[in-house]
Amino acid sequence: MSSKIRLGILGGGGDSLIGVLHRVASAMYDQYQIVGGVFNPVWEENIDFAKQIDIPTNRIYIDFDALIEEELKLPEDERMQVVSVLTPNFLHFPMAKKLLENGFNVICEKPMTMSYKEAKILESTLQKSGALFAITYTYTGYPMIRQMREMIADGAIGKVQKIDAQYYQGWINPIIHDAEKRANTWRLNPEKGGISCCIGDIGTHAFDMIEYVTQLKVGKVLADLNYVYEDNQMDVDGTVLIRCTNGVKGVIRTSQIATGEENNFTVQIYGEKAGLKWEQENPNYLYLLEDGQPLRVLKPGHDYNSKLSLEGSKMPPGHPEGIFDSMGNIYKGIAKAIKGESYNYGEFPTMIDGVRGMNFIERVVESHKKGNVWVNIDE
Amino acid sequence: MSSKIRLGILGGGGDSLIGVLHRVASAMYDQYQIVGGVFNPVWEENIDFAKQIDIPTNRIYIDFDALIEEELKLPEDERMQVVSVLTPNFLHFPMAKKLLENGFNVICEKPMTMSYKEAKILESTLQKSGALFAITYTYTGYPMIRQMREMIADGAIGKVQKIDAQYYQGWINPIIHDAEKRANTWRLNPEKGGISCCIGDIGTHAFDMIEYVTQLKVGKVLADLNYVYEDNQMDVDGTVLIRCTNGVKGVIRTSQIATGEENNFTVQIYGEKAGLKWEQENPNYLYLLEDGQPLRVLKPGHDYNSKLSLEGSKMPPGHPEGIFDSMGNIYKGIAKAIKGESYNYGEFPTMIDGVRGMNFIERVVESHKKGNVWVNIDE
Amino acid sequence: MSSKIRLGILGGGGDSLIGVLHRVASAMYDQYQIVGGVFNPVWEENIDFAKQIDIPTNRIYIDFDALIEEELKLPEDERMQVVSVLTPNFLHFPMAKKLLENGFNVICEKPMTMSYKEAKILESTLQKSGALFAITYTYTGYPMIRQMREMIADGAIGKVQKIDAQYYQGWINPIIHDAEKRANTWRLNPEKGGISCCIGDIGTHAFDMIEYVTQLKVGKVLADLNYVYEDNQMDVDGTVLIRCTNGVKGVIRTSQIATGEENNFTVQIYGEKAGLKWEQENPNYLYLLEDGQPLRVLKPGHDYNSKLSLEGSKMPPGHPEGIFDSMGNIYKGIAKAIKGESYNYGEFPTMIDGVRGMNFIERVVESHKKGNVWVNIDE
Amino acid sequence: MSSKIRLGILGGGGDSLIGVLHRVASAMYDQYQIVGGVFNPVWEENIDFAKQIDIPTNRIYIDFDALIEEELKLPEDERMQVVSVLTPNFLHFPMAKKLLENGFNVICEKPMTMSYKEAKILESTLQKSGALFAITYTYTGYPMIRQMREMIADGAIGKVQKIDAQYYQGWINPIIHDAEKRANTWRLNPEKGGISCCIGDIGTHAFDMIEYVTQLKVGKVLADLNYVYEDNQMDVDGTVLIRCTNGVKGVIRTSQIATGEENNFTVQIYGEKAGLKWEQENPNYLYLLEDGQPLRVLKPGHDYNSKLSLEGSKMPPGHPEGIFDSMGNIYKGIAKAIKGESYNYGEFPTMIDGVRGMNFIERVVESHKKGNVWVNIDE
């Protein structure tokens, strides 16, 4: 009998990038075995793909409901221990909810739900279930982000006094200026994408990251979004002034029309003693700026890093690891939790991150629609 | 008789950094000769310094009024043709005003005046005088900033759709947390520094730069400033949402409590075709981001640059020039104007920049004080 | 029956870094299943580790000979299709040889053998066997290295005229200055490490990389090695002048006493039209330098890259991949070859690379020992 | 009477870049006044240029001999105190020699002479003269190079154990492949350029820099030069193995056919405790690599720098200075020496640097011509 965690997967079949990311991540530390799932809504594509990745025929399910029904019939020590939900956004909520209700641990892609209301329901479902829930804000798994969090917690920069996060992409630029294209892009369709495109997709990463590294809570927001065209229903750019509950000010800047940008997500946190900076596109460098001192550049795998950071790199310094390794670290943390081992709260994002993320999205849109005014985020 | 422009200087004596910057800048292209001035309010220090830089005794003046009086007695072809005003901020206005009223061309350090009202008065003085007025927003003299301006004007990035400027410093951090220090720093004293510290000192650079490179006008602002302590009367950090008169949105981010930052001024402009980025601390690189193309890094001195940019570098590619060279380029442009030669409007900032800068400062503070609301900037 | 390739593994158990690298690499594209192996010479550690990664008990072998014997008893469609040799260096040759003699495909870590003579024997064994042999020069799997190779092949830089490769590390510095430590480090012990430390371990990477990206052959070498201490038997630093068979000159610079360097491997190739530069520690950037043109920075995942390069990235631009992904690409190419699918010769290094690498090491040491003279490398 | 040093200039008129560089450098610290010279061999161009930079008519000389003759007639307190020799290379020696013989201090551009023999003669002339001689290896004036020198002297990196300098340019690439162009380029003509192009022009910078920062002496060289074409008489690329008199090994790599490179001069020095790296194209960053520590990046103007380094920056941190400022620092040091003030030996290069540079060039060419063998450099 395998000692690995039995993992089921919903979605992620065919050429799905998110599917590759989760499969590789689950393999990184020899902790999981993918035992079954529904990889594609079309049966033939589902079965073809499942065979390709060696899923035994009896655990390739025709749909989500069948998966739950059949898995529950299996003895507990054969049943899936956790299910990764990689389906389109609108399916996250119903799937995660039913999984939790039936006692399955859940790993859920972001955004967790389509609305804050759904998020609150899911939170309450989780509380009743006793199961485990993780949401894959991938970037929190980077070793130097973990290092940033722990350095701030340890007082390396003193009390935080200034926050600045940027998430700039350019991929909507070729779409937004073409009326037909913008009408036919699902991300710009509120029925499929929810109430926000740019804030929903990438602003939430920035928001979650700020709370992750500082362990502060954002208390209110004032947002100026950009829809570019009148007929466009979803924001593709937006700047959000933030205020933490302890009064610290900051800004979140997001764009999908920053032409030519790829995935330029940066975090700058300044404290009373020093500053820390990080860029997702060069994730293995953490910059420590201290007044009157040479700039210091921390890198993964060195003894000067925290235990949490060091656990996130597999190779010695100078052997760059990337986004797959970051997601692998999140899966590693979840494995510890599933196995009942002790783990650091910073090892993977949870329901709290998911709920706050949905609240953030709705409050930002509210702030914008009310004319760029301050709106509170629930504690 | 020298063919060089006869330059007078007010202030900048002793160890003054701004004095060195202007003197070297004036020498860069063999265009100016410093013929006289008042370098220091203390007579002995004034005369000592003036002798050190070879000013003939008869043109070392006891004070500003004497300078004007005596210079006017000289025949026109001996008289100072232009005077650089490098004195403390509150003296800029009265000195520039009187100089203009007496027909002298003026090069003025920023901030131009202590208030928008003064700025408007000075503007009207200038109009009556027929003299020339330049304000030294130093950074606009960098070759790659000039290249950025001309590329945008030539449509290299298409219609501008997103603006982001950052000016982060950390030098006030060691001051702000000490009640005594913050009470005794002139920049934090409204009587000496005007109504704003951070926005006034560096925010204006960002504002001017945005208008310089895009040739758009900022139409309104919504600002959130940070004073950190209740007893502190001047902002030391602030984020400003901007909207250009043509509707383009952007953000100006400034801080003097970004601990460990030196002079981290960056500009990012994104258009419908491409994006352009520049960093003051590495001023010889201009980044062109075009969707689906390799990132291109433009550098000074290459034939692919515009004439305006090429005129701003003295050496072949690979020989880095810096901030002295940038200021030298501004002086070079002013020399052309004084000599009546044709010059590009982008060669040096003028009264318009000075007036708009003062308006920006006041509207930003107004926006903040009114509770972070939109406030219009005069056209 | 699984559609995945049945992979056996020799070595790589316990905390072995190389073990993790190969296991993850084999999982990256869902192409392999690890079906058995010998992971550790100590039986209990072997079995413990093997169980941990879910190897069925009957295919955890007591030693290498048992593995071959037992696997050969299995029907061909159950038998290991390829075996990865991750054992200490001196075991590479006997293991690879016996595997090939028994018809197994082999993936071998570098250095391939302990001597050029062994390498030639192995080459001849391979020729007789009809099996497949791959050697894991990991760095050739990076997408931008593949892009470099194909751009050079396509004439993007014109005829190559200058080659410069650097491989600087600092890890031996804390060892070399301590007589006891240097006596007890296996890499500095010729019985365990072969005739060269620095050239053998990292110089070969540089040599292989040059031939990989330029598709030129190095024809002769003149080397100056550094042993630092008289009692030290192995080089820890060395510079090698190279001349390609077509006359092109270049230099390979290697060091393990470049204090503070991590894994600083760079390649610079200049041609008659342009130059190309790459750095292993920032592997997702390829710099194209063309006279009179802006510097261009190519990144993975863009359509402007070659098919070979694009096959090597799993995520869209801006999602950094690293060394695990690079090794994954090599395993992907080997999978194609094993399955009989068509593949690009650049997808994985082969016996030719292994043989040339061993020849290079011996000729470099010979050149040094003869007093820094030119020595030919066999064609 | 001016307190400034009376400076004469030979050459550097018209559009000469080197002329601008020296004039601006001399103005940087208000230390020099250009009082006369011969700027151009053509009288009309000479006088036009001289007037343009305000030289009084009576000190615009018709030729070099006239300058010496007439200046000697002036009272000592009016006579030129130092003369900068900026003429074509072959004139450096006769001019410097005659100037020294007549008691003038000399600032000489590099290469100092056309041959080592001339260099030795000039050295002996200097010894007899009692005058001051400086040679403008411009790059040694950069603040972070000075910092590097002093950190090494202070033991910051421990005993030096590895040296690597690179000087790569690409400007000869468009010339070298065209027979007519290479025949007509003065740098490739031994009568005008001496015995070496690449080593003579840029290799000497690398050689001088190594000795400047480490304060070691290179004892012997083994060189492999590249002439690319048979009919080409001058090297355009070359790699030089070096050995210091204390046994430390290193390499100097130079090229003018590194296509697309601008002025890519880098120095890497590794010691038993740490390493230091610097790049001329980004001269304001000094990288300190220490085993097991974060990379540290030192920048100009900070208190952590040495006095010598701090004297080389005029502005606060974050205000980039460049090559003009570097040359300005050299002129500043020379001014101290002329005035009889105390100065640091590292403030400007002297005859020793000039003589050793010429010796280096000749030994490198000798090594290459003898078949890439070791050749000693005179102590």
Residue C271 Cα, gap to closest chain B Cα (Å): 20
pLDDT for residue B172 is more than 70:
yes
Cβ <8 Å between C54 and A317: no
Which chains border C (3 or more CB–CB pairs < 8 Å)?
A: A, B, D
Residues of C in contact with B292 (CB under 8 A): 302-304
Residue A377 Cα, gap to closest chain C Cα (Å): 30
What is the band of D192 on the pLDDT scale with cuts at 50, 70, 90? confident
Residue C234 Cα, gap to closest chain A Cα (Å): 23
Of B359, B358, B350, B364, residue with least CA distance to B378: B359
Dist. CA D117–CA D97, nearest whole Å: 13
Of C177, C171, C164, residue with least CA distance to C258: C171
Sign of dihedral through CA atoms A185, A186, A191, A194?
negative
Nearest to A270 among B157, B259, B272 (CB): B259
Cβ <8 Å between A288 and D294: yes
Q: Are A342 and A324 in contact (CB under 8 A)?
A: no
How confident is the model at residue C193, as a pLDDT? 81
Of B322, B264, D294, residue with least CA distance to A294: D294
Which chains border B (3 or more CB–CB pairs < 8 Å)?
A: A, C, D
Structure-token match 């509207």, residue found: B363
How confident is the model at residue C379, as a pLDDT? 81
Mutation target among B225, B270, B281 for the A interface, most CBs of A within 10 A: B270
Question: How many CB atoms lie under 10 A from the CB of residue A78?
Answer: 13
For residue B347, what is the DSSP state?
A: G
Cβ <8 Å between D251 and C239: yes
Count Cβ atoms within 10 A of the Cβ of residue A121 and give its class: 0-12 exposed, 13-18 middle, 19 or more buried: middle
Backbone phi, psi, residue B43, to 5°: -55, -45
Dist. CA B264–CA B251, nearest whole Å: 16
As a whole number, mean pLDDT of residues D256-268 equals 98
Residues of C in contact with B297 (CB under 8 A): 294-297
Mutation target among A21, A31, A315 for the C interface, most CBs of C within 10 A: A315
Question: How many CB atoms lie under 10 A from the CB of residue B342?
Answer: 6
Task: Extract long-range pairs of B171-177: CB within 8 Å, 24+ residues apart.
Answer: B171/B256, B172/B197, B172/B198, B172/B236, B172/B256, B172/B257, B173/A270, B173/A272, B173/A291, B173/B256, B173/B257, B173/B258, B173/B259, B174/A291, B176/B228, B176/B229, B176/B232, B176/B236, B176/B257, B177/A272, B177/B228
What chain A residue is nearest to C28 in terms of C-alpha separation? A24
For residue A172, what is the DSSP state?
A: T
Cβ <8 Å between B226 and A249: yes
What chain A residue is nearest to C24 in terms of C-alpha separation? A28
Q: Distance between the two ends of chain B, CA-based, in angstroms?
A: 45
Structure-token match 């797959």, residue found: A324
pLDDT for residue D1 is more than 80:
no
Tell me the pLDDT tens digit for each residue of B150-165.
Answer: 999 999 999 999 999 9
pLDDT < 50: residue spans in chain A: none
Cβ <8 Å between A264 and C299: no
Residue A265 Cα, gap to closest chain B Cα (Å): 14
How confident is the model at residue A379, as a pLDDT? 81
Backbone phi, psi, residue C114, to 5°: -95, -15
Q: Are C93 and C122 in contact (CB under 8 A)?
A: yes
Mean pLDDT of chain A: 97
Cβ <8 Å between B251 and A253: yes
Task: Give the tokens for residue B341.
Answer: 């030669």
pLDDT for residue D8 is more than 80:
yes
Residues 41-70 of A with CB under 8 A from B: none
Write the Ramachandran bin of D12: left for phi over 0, alpha for psi from -120 to 50, otherwise beta: left
Residues 273-292 of C with CB under 8 A from B: 288, 292
As a whole number, mean pLDDT of residues B203-232 equals 98
How confident is the model at residue A3, as a pLDDT? 83
Backbone phi, psi, residue C2, to 5°: -65, 145
Cβ <8 Å between B292 and C303: yes
| Helix H or strand E encompassing D356 | helix D351-369
For residue A378, what is the DSSP state?
A: P
Dist. CA B349–CA B146, nearest whole Å: 12
As a whole number, mean pLDDT of residues C152-159 equals 98
How confident is the model at residue D73, as a pLDDT? 98
Sheet with strand D32-38: strands edge to edge: D32-38, D5-10, D82-85, D105-108, D133-135
Tell me the pLDDT tens digit for each residue of B222-275.
Answer: 999 999 999 999 999 999 999 999 999 999 999 999 999 999 999 999 999 999
For residue C228, what is the DSSP state?
A: S
CB-based contact, D24 to chain B, within 8 Å: yes
Cβ <8 Å between D374 and C374: no
CB-based contact, A318 to chain C, within 8 Å: yes
Of D312, D357, D317, residue with least CA distance to D336: D312
Q: Are A205 and A167 in contact (CB under 8 A)?
A: yes
Strand boundaries in chain C, DSSP class E: 5-10, 32-38, 82-85, 105-108, 133-135, 160-168, 218-226, 237-244, 249-255, 264-271, 274-279, 286-290, 295-298, 375-376
CB-based contact, B295 to chain C, within 8 Å: yes
Dist. CA A266–CA A277, nearest whole Å: 7
For chain D, count helices (H), then strands (E). 14, 14
How confident is the model at residue C192, as a pLDDT? 84
Residue B202 Cα, gap to closest chain D Cα (Å): 13
Cβ <8 Å between A314 and C324: yes
How confident is the model at residue B65, as a pLDDT? 97
Count Cβ atoms within 10 A of the Cβ of residue D322 and give its class: 0-12 exposed, 13-18 middle, 19 or more buried: buried
What chain A residue is nearest to C264 in terms of C-alpha separation? A318
Nearest to A304 among D288, D292, D296 (CB): D292
Q: Are D105 and D121 in contact (CB under 8 A)?
A: no
Residue B300 Cα, gap to closest chain C Cα (Å): 10
| Helix H or strand E encompassing C70 | helix C64-73
> What are the angstrom distances between the C-alpha of D87 and each of D9, D94, D101?
9, 11, 18
Question: How many CB atoms lie under 10 A from the CB of residue A366?
Answer: 15
Strand partners, D226: D237
Residues of D in contact with A302 (CB under 8 A): 292, 294
Q: What's the whole-model pTM score?
A: 0.97
How confident is the model at residue B64, as a pLDDT? 97
Cβ <8 Å between D226 and C249: yes
Within chain A, residue ranges assigned H as helices are 17-27, 43-52, 64-73, 89-101, 116-129, 143-153, 173-176, 179-184, 190-193, 198, 204-214, 307-310, 323-338, 351-369
Cβ <8 Å between C295 and B296: yes
Tell me the pLDDT tens digit for each residue of B295-323.
Answer: 999 999 999 999 999 999 999 999 999 99
Cβ <8 Å between C292 and B299: no
Structure-token match 């509120």, residue found: A190
| Helix H or strand E encompassing D175 | helix D173-176
Cβ <8 Å between D296 and A297: yes
Nearest to B288 among C292, C294, C303 (CB): C294
CB-based contact, A294 to chain D, within 8 Å: yes
pLDDT for residue C1 is more than 80:
no
Cβ <8 Å between B270 and A170: yes
Residue A198 Cα, gap to closest chain B Cα (Å): 14
Tell me the pLDDT tens digit for each residue of B321-335.
Answer: 999 999 999 999 999
pLDDT for residue B342 is more than 80:
yes
* DSSP reduced 3-state for C275: strand
As a whole number, mean pLDDT of residues C45-55 equals 95
What is the band of D191 on the pLDDT scale with cuts at 50, 70, 90? confident
Mutation target among C285, C289, C297 for the B interface, most CBs of B within 10 A: C297
Question: How many CB atoms lie under 10 A from the CB of residue D131?
Answer: 18
Tell me the ipTM for this assembly.
0.96
CB-based contact, A336 to chain C, within 8 Å: no
Sheet with strand A105-108: strands edge to edge: A32-38, A5-10, A82-85, A105-108, A133-135
Dist. CA C290–CA C279, nearest whole Å: 18
Tell me the pLDDT tens digit for each residue of D320-377.
Answer: 999 999 999 999 999 999 999 999 999 999 999 999 999 999 999 999 999 999 999 9
Instruction: Measure the CA dihedral A61/A65/A69/A74, to 10°.
Output: 40
Write the Ramachandran bin of B129: left for phi over 0, alpha for psi from -120 to 50, otherwise beta: alpha
Cis geometry, peptide bond prior to residue A111 (ω within 30 degrees of 0): yes
Cis geometry, peptide bond prior to residue C88 (ω within 30 degrees of 0): no
Residues of C in contact with A284 (CB under 8 A): 281
Strand boundaries in chain B, DSSP class E: 5-10, 32-38, 82-85, 105-108, 133-135, 160-168, 218-226, 237-244, 249-255, 264-271, 274-279, 286-290, 295-298, 375-376
Nearest-Å Rg of the Cα atoms of chain B is 21
What chain D residue is nearest to A293 in terms of C-alpha separation? D304
| Helix H or strand E encompassing C146 | helix C143-153
Sign of dihedral through CA atoms C133, C135, C141, C146?
negative
For residue D101, what is the DSSP state?
A: H
Task: Give the tokens for residue D245.
Answer: 């008199």
How confident is the model at residue B355, as a pLDDT? 98
Q: Are D131 and D103 in contact (CB under 8 A)?
A: yes
Strand boundaries in B18-79, DSSP class E: 32-38
CB-based contact, B325 to chain D, within 8 Å: yes
How confident is the model at residue B3, as a pLDDT? 83
- Percent over 90 (pLDDT), chain C: 97
Dist. CA C318–CA C284, nearest whole Å: 9
Nearest to C296 among B294, B302, B304 (CB): B294
Of C212, C203, C214, residue with least CA distance to C246: C214
